[in-house]
Amino acid sequence: MSESPPTWVRKYACPTDLSGGQCIANDEILTHHASQRGQYNNSPRPEAMEVELSVMRGRLTTVEACMRRNGGRPAHPSDVERAGVRYTTAGELRSANFAVIHTCGRKGEGNGHVSVVWPDANPLDEPDPAWPPHVRKAFAACFTEDKG
């Protein structure tokens, strides 16, 4: 019997998280970007085959977050105008039973990509992309600000 291929999260996780550590400290601020202010994804998108939600390291402005999402290139001013960002900490997400995994492998360390996975029991190998309503609500409740 052959082994299953590694999950997306395992494939791109940083070495610290792969070895059972926590690369992202509990007090680290994380930014969640939305292309349309106020319309944030609060669970993975099944149509995109996602198993996690993406956030970015640091407290980024809307301009900075749009630029990161755009591969480091400046975003069109109308895209920035429509976009929104909201903030939380890794500890806030962990206290709500989410795993916070530094997934820098695909986009590189400079991008600051972080994956939020549920449930937190075995996030590298058994992420559940079907977040029930109470989990989506718990994720959204971790964020305290919404800025454009």
State residue 46's pLDDT score.
84
Residue with tokens 């400290």: 25
Confirm whether 3 is domain-assigned: no
Within the chain, which residues score under 70 in pLDDT? 1-4, 106-110, 148
State residue 1's pLDDT score.
47
The count of structural domains within the chain is 1
Confirm whether 67 is domain-assigned: yes
Confirm whether 128 is domain-assigned: yes
State residue 34's pLDDT score.
96
Three-class secondary structure of residue 78 per DSSP = helix
| Alpha-carbon span 147 to 27, nearest angstrom | 20
Measure the CA angle with vertex 143, ends 140 and 145; round to 5°: 125
> Does pTM top 0.85 for this prediction?
yes
Provide the residue range defining the domain that includes 125.
33-40+52-147
